[in-house]
Amino acid sequence: MATYAIGDIQGCYDPLQRLLERIRFDPAVDRLWLTGDLVNRGPKSLEVLRFVVKNQASIVSVLGNHDLYLLQRYLGVVKAKNFDTLQEVFARGKLRVLVEFSPPPTEGPPPEFYIDPDTGQPAGVACELGKMVAQDLGVEVEWVDLPWPEQIPAFLDGKADLLPKHTNTSLRGLLVDFSHHRLQRIEVVAIARKNGPIKRKDDLNSEAVTIGSWHGSSNVELARRLFPKARIIEDQRPPTLLTSGRADALVEDGVTRVALERLSDCDFVRNEQGEREILNLEYGYPAVFPGDARFLNWLNNFMGYRWNDGTLKYWADTWWNSWMAT
């Protein structure tokens, strides 16, 4: 018999199940202590609650602030909160923008958010968007540098005002409100060793294959859906998974020419015509806090205006594509 303690599940039912599978939790003999916040940020709060009820004989749980708020809403003790991010931004004089600073694109990563080695200033397509939004609002910009998997939870916890470039997936659309206008085009591809066994897309769907991808990205779920037999692992620097031998292939987006040149013994997984196999076509979209109609309306107007005047087209298409491998 073993006793485990887990905190802040936050509606993330699937990661919870993967964790329980990894520790080989057996509800028939083991005990599980849940230390609060079963619901809220993740997409499957109801599934988490059903799991707890189903296994209540082996689970002890306490209530966190999110659980208490859910009960208060259900009982009619409190009303839903109204959010006005713009009012807070104007009062603060700063727009807080979420980023995950990486090395500059001259070293391989896509040009999303990095510190320009020549100027020492934040740069990249997401940073340029953040600067323009702040400028048009008449405030300063403050960069909130967090790992990608932590960004949406931190955003929903009020630690930032703008998500600049997340892929608009159906699950994320339940958590935040995306703009109607896109940022950069994202082509999801696979990369493998030139002399390795993986030659075509179908070769990736094998129990003998390990696929690496960027931590917390939509590419992870795409890889799991397209290649259910393969083992999927995540990392902050996916190319190291391939070079170290921990992965047989990568499912990646925003692959730059520099990145492909540095992986000199690797190439795109290609189709029978010799063209890159495009696994999925996505776009980055800015997003605001759910239910914040005023900020979302302003952001949609801003994005439309900046596309029409050519500014966003330059950064999201011309400049972005100038770095990409083809």
Q: What is the pLDDT of residue 81?
A: 57
Q: What is the pLDDT of residue 74?
A: 73
* 37 has a pLDDT exceeding 80: yes
Percent of the chain at pLDDT above 70? 98
Residue 194 CB neighbours (<10 A): 11
Give the angle 125-151-44 at the CA atoms, nearest 5°. Answer: 130
pLDDT (average), residues 130-134 = 98
Name the pTM for this structure.
0.74
CA-based torsion, 233, 238, 240, 243: positive or negative: positive
Longest dimension (CA), the chain: 65
Residues 6+ apart with CB under 8 A from 4: 23, 25, 30, 31, 32, 33
Q: What is the pLDDT of residue 84?
A: 87
- Least trusted range by pLDDT, from 30-44, 185-199, 245-259: 30-44
Residues 307 and 77: their CA atoms lie apart, in Å, by 45
Dihedral class, residue 36 (left if φ above 0, else alpha if ψ from -120 to 50, else beta): left
Q: What is the pLDDT of residue 44?
A: 86
What confidence tier does 212 reach under pLDDT thresholds 50, 70, 90? very high
Encoded tokens for 254: 């925003």
Residues 183 and 82: their CA atoms lie apart, in Å, by 28
What confidence tier does 82 reach under pLDDT thresholds 50, 70, 90? low
Mean pLDDT of the chain: 92
Residues 25 and 93: their CA atoms lie apart, in Å, by 49
CA-based torsion, 144, 148, 154, 158: positive or negative: positive
pLDDT (tens digit, 9 = 90+) per residue, 67-81? 887 787 777 765 555
Q: What is the pLDDT of residue 147?
A: 93
**Total number of residues shown for the chain:** 326
pLDDT (tens digit, 9 = 90+) per residue, 40-58? 877 788 889 999 988 888 8
Which of 85, 60, 55, 70 is closest to 11 using CA atoms?
A: 70
Percent of the chain at pLDDT above 90? 72
Q: Which one-letter amino acid corresponds to residue 71?
A: L
pLDDT (average), residues 92-113 = 96
Q: What is the pLDDT of residue 78?
A: 56
Q: DSSP code of 157?
A: T
Encoded tokens for 272: 């029978």
| 68 or 18, higher pLDDT | 18
pLDDT (average), residues 82-110 = 93
Q: What is the pLDDT of residue 272?
A: 92
pLDDT (average), residues 162-168 = 95
Q: What is the pLDDT of residue 201?
A: 97
As separate numbers, helices (DSSP H) first and strands (DSSP E) second, the chain gives 12, 15
Domains of the chain from N-terminus onward:
3-75 (3.60.21.40), 87-183+284-319 (3.40.190.10), 185-281 (3.40.190.10)
* 111 has a pLDDT exceeding 80: yes
